[in-house]
């Protein structure tokens, strides 16, 4: 389930990276805020499915807000301006959540309760369903990008915004749509992770670090490889913790990442040319 | 133009109006607490305890005590900046320091340099081992709570092969070493130990390895979120192991993260457990706290409440400078709500602990044992 959550989160992160050239460091905080939206919905009696849907919807709205505040006015500035603005917005979000909800961890209700013991391993029904949701999200985004007119336009605008604009494509609108979709994916990821792993105001900082590592390791701007690498990161952490220890697994992850940067800086699937930040 | 001129004049006059006078008997109580960051839960409890204590002390002593809370987040340098800002307004008789041990360790040299008493509820053992005369700890240190933790686990629960899961933070590492010392003193050696980062989410591997090592119980020394994660994941793995957790598990907000059935066989050490008290001053405090903040109190809030209470009593007795405050705190006992406090000469004021246990049916804990000066008192 950790892999499902990381994968969906990284999918959204890579989407805004590719479509708008934006390193959205507020993406993890969007996931967190959306998860809290799900917590509020649950407090009003929403079931697991309703709370997760509310979180995804709120995530989309928050993605839109991030685009309007941090990307649209700064898109012609150096790329660092956008991600510093996103970091600042993320800090505002974290502190707002702390003031509003306090520091106590919260949990969303499960999509469905129960689970199974299989060969000594426990698989929760919520975790299994989260995997199905994550796979559906991957297929959905892949279909959108590769098989639809909107996806074609998104890719065209991402490849060369000036030429795309010259051909009459609404480049800004397409980028904002990418932020909205990425925000919805972040909300979904936040909700998936918050049932079993809880949500606190600052957890977004951990999520965005994993997403950033996945995006860099996969190849800057590669959307589906980023999602798959994020799943791989979760597996690496779990297997490493089982073989050695939690602390060693985390250290090994960052060492592996450094080694990858040293020997294959373009990432496993190669960079989209000239886009790395 | 004329309207603009008149507006400017009105603004100038209103800004020039004298500010409301500070009451001559108003006493600012500086409180440094991690209100944001990963310790926001504990920092919030610290803040609330201080605010409530200042309000009650004002009525009790007929002096207006005002808790002035500053956020130290979780970085030592932010705590240092907060203390220096406090000192810019003149040296107060004392300061309530942050609950985070690493921040307190950064503040102690400044406190010693300034001769400033610093009252804390941090449990990190090292704070009172550095020889500072300015630190006063109002939460039982690791030497008290971990003794209770080890004794309860071995004597009451019957653990002979415990596994220890501890946080990799200063709090976790400090507590773990004192816990192991106490276990060894009781003739018990842990069969497995692992340090966990506060950011880790999947702890099932560590739990499974503890079980594979032949552990007959889990001893936890973790913050709130990881404590709940371990208990949940241990339950999901089907391990029917008794768990004696650290003070994070006494907090009602931690218990609320788990199904009651997951709490069966779970106990926790703490300085106190106001939410579990059914009568007496503890219940009165809990009721006041709930009415004031609309949330359940925990031991950290109560410890801070008692710390400010003792500060206020000392001030009311004439200790209105740093030197006189330090002298008063060092020499006098104080009957707080959680326990009676008296310095052991090193700054440890709190010498009692409790063990709370959950029944597996509700989220409510009950006080199972009380511990004072190295032995059970009930």
Predicted local distance difference test score (pLDDT) of residue B16: 42
Q: Is residue A269 part of a domain?
A: no
Domain boundaries of chain B, sorted by first residue: 26-140+279-347, 143-270+354-376
Q: Do B295 and A102 touch (CB under 8 A)?
A: yes
A106, A193 contact by CB (below 8 A): no
Q: Does A53 touch chain B (CB under 8 A)?
A: no
Q: What is the C-alpha to C-alpha distance for residues B172 and B230, in angstroms, rounded to an integer? A: 15
Can you identify the CATH homologous superfamily of domain B26-140+279-347? Answer: Response regulator (3.40.50.2300)
Look at phi and psi of residue A221 and say left if phi exceeds 0, alpha if psi is from -120 to 50, else beta. Answer: left
Q: How many residues belong to chain B?
A: 378
pLDDT band (50, 70, 90) for residue B17: very low
Per the domain annotation, does A274 fall within a domain?
A: no
* A150-159, A267-276, B200-209, B317-326: least confidently modelled range: A267-276
The CATH class, in words, for B143-270+354-376 is: alpha beta
The verdict on a CB contact (< 8 Å) between B257 and A198 is yes
What's the confidence (pLDDT) of residue B315? Answer: 96
Tally of domains within chain A: 1
How many CB contacts within 8 angstroms connect chain A with chain B? 94
Is residue B294 helix, strand or coil? coil
CB within 8 Å of chain B, chain A residues 91-120: 94-95, 98, 102-107, 115, 117
Cα separation, B309 vs A105, whole angstroms? 29
Mutation choice for A interface testing from B34, B35, B36 by most A CBs within 10 A: B36
Look at residue B375 and give its three-state secondary structure: strand
**DSSP collapsed to 3 states, chain A:** CHHHHHHHHHHHHHHHHHHHCCCCCCHHHHHHHHHHHHHHHHHCCCCHHHHHHHHHHHHHHHHHHHHHHHHHHHCCCCHHHHHHHHHHHHHHHHHHHHHHHCCCCECCCCCCCCEEEECCEEEEHHHHHHHHHHHHHHHHHHHHHHHCHHHHHHHHHHHCHHHHHHCCCCHHHHHHHHHHHHHHHHHHHHHHHHHHHCECCCHHHHHHHHHHHHHHHHCCCCHHHHHHHHHHHHHHHHHHHHHCCHHHHHHHHHHHHHHHHHHCCCCCCCCCCCCCC
Helix A203-218 vs helix A246-263: angle between axes, to the nearest 10 degrees?
A: 40
B143-270+354-376 shares the fold of B26-140+279-347? yes
In the three-class reduction of DSSP (H, G, I as helix; E, B as strand; rest coil), residue B141 is classed as: coil
Q: Look at strands B375-376 and B340-341 and give their pairing.
A: unpaired
**A234 CB near a chain B CB, below 8 Å?**
yes
**Does any CB of chain B come closer than 8 Å to the CB of residue A193?**
yes
A259 versus B38: the higher-pLDDT residue is A259
Higher pLDDT, A79 or B306: B306
Residue A274: what pLDDT?
52
| pLDDT at site B246 | 95
- Please give the ipTM for the structure prediction: 0.78
Q: Is B194 helix (H, G, I), strand (E, B) or coil?
A: strand
Quote the CA–CA distance of A250 and A87 in Å, as a whole number. 24
B98 neighbourhood in chain A, CB within 8 Å: none
Per the domain annotation, does A115 fall within a domain? Answer: yes
Confidence band for B48, pLDDT divided at 50, 70 and 90: very high
What is the DSSP secondary structure assignment for residue B348, as one 8-state letter?
B
Residue B73 near residue B36, CB atoms below 8 Å: yes
Strand-pairing partners, residue B341, are: B334
Residue-number span of the structural domain to which A83 is assigned: 2-204
Closest CA of chain A from B166, distance in Å:
11
Average pLDDT over residues B369-375: 91
* SS3 assignment, position B19: coil
The CA radius of gyration of chain B, in Å to the nearest whole number, is: 22
């Amino acid at each position: 389930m950790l892999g499902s959550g990381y994968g969906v989160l990284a999918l959204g992160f890579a989407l805004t990276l590719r479509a708008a050239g934006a390193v959205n460091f507020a993406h993890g905080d969007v996931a967190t805020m959306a998860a809290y939206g799900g917590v509020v919905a649950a407090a009003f009696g929403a079931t697991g499915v309703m709370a997760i849907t509310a979180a995804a919807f709120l995530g989309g709205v928050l993605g839109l807000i991030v685009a309007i505040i941090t990307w649209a006015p700064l898109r012609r500035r150096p790329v660092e301006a956008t991600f510093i603005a996103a970091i600042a917005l993320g800090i505002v979000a974290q502190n707002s959540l702390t003031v509003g909800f306090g520091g106590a961890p919260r949990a969303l209700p499960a999509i469905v309760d129960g689970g199974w013991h299989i060969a000594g391993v426990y698989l929760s029904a919520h975790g299994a369903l989260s995997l199905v949701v994550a796979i559906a999200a991957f297929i959905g985004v892949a279909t959108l990008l590769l098989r639809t007119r909107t996806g074609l336009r998104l890719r065209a605008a991402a490849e060369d915004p000036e030429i795309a604009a010259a051909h009459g494509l609404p480049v800004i609108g397409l980028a904002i749509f990418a932020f909205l979709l990425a925000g919805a994916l972040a909300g979904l990821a936040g909700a998936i992770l918050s049932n079993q792993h809880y949500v606190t105001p600052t957890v977004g900082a951990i999520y965005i670090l994993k997403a950033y590592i996945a995006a860099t390791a996969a190849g800057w701007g590669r959307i589906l490889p980023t999602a798959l690498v994020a799943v791989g990161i979760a597996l690496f952490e779990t297997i490493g913790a089982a073989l050695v220890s939690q602390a060693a697994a985390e250290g090994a992850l960052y060492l592996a990442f450094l080694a990858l940067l040293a020997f294959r800086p373009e990432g496993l699937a190669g960079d989209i040319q000239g886009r790395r930040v | 133009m004329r309207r603009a001129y008149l507006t400017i004049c009105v603004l100038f006059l209103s800004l020039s109006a004298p500010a409301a006078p500070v009451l001559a008997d108003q006493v600012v109580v500086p409180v440094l607490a991690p209100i944001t960051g990963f310790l926001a839960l504990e920092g919030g409890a610290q803040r609330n305890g201080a605010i409530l204590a200042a309000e009650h002390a004002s009525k009790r002593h007929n002096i207006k005590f005002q808790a002035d809370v500053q956020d130290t987040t979780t970085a030592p340098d932010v705590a240092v900046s907060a203390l220096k800002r406090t000192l810019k307004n003149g040296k107060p008789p004392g300061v309530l320091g942050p609950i985070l041990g690493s921040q307190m360790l950064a503040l102690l040299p400044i406190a010693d340099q300034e001769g400033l008493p610093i009252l804390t509820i941090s449990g990190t053992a090292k704070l009172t081992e550095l020889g500072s005369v300015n630190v006063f700890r109002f939460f039982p240190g690791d030497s008290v709570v971990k003794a209770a933790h080890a004794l309860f686990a071995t004597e009451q629960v019957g653990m002979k092969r415990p596994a220890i899961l501890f946080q990799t933070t200063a709090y976790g590492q400090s507590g773990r070493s004192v816990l192991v010392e106490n276990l060894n003193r009781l003739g018990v050696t842990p069969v497995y130990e692992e340090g966990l980062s506060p950011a880790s989410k999947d702890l099932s591997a560590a739990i499974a390895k503890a079980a594979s090592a032949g552990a007959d119980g889990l001893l936890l020394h973790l913050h709130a979120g990881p404590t709940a994660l371990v208990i949940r994941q241990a339950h999901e793995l089907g391990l029917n192991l008794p768990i004696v957790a650290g003070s994070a598990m006494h907090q009602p907000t931690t218990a609320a993260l788990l199904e009651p059935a997951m709490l069966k066989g779970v106990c926790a050490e703490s300085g106190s457990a106001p939410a579990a008290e059914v009568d007496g001053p503890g219940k009165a405090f809990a009721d006041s706290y709930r009415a004031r903040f609309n949330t359940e109190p925990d031991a950290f809030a109560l410890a801070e409440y008692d710390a400010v209470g003792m500060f206020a009593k000392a001030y009311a007795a004439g200790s209105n400078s740093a030197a006189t405050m330090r002298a008063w705190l060092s020499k006098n006992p104080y009957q707080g709500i959680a326990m009676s406090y008296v310095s052991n000469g090193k700054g440890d004021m709190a010498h009692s602990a409790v063990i709370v246990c959950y029944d597996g049916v509700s989220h409510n804990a009950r006080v199972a044992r009380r511990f004072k000066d190295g032995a059970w008192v009930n």
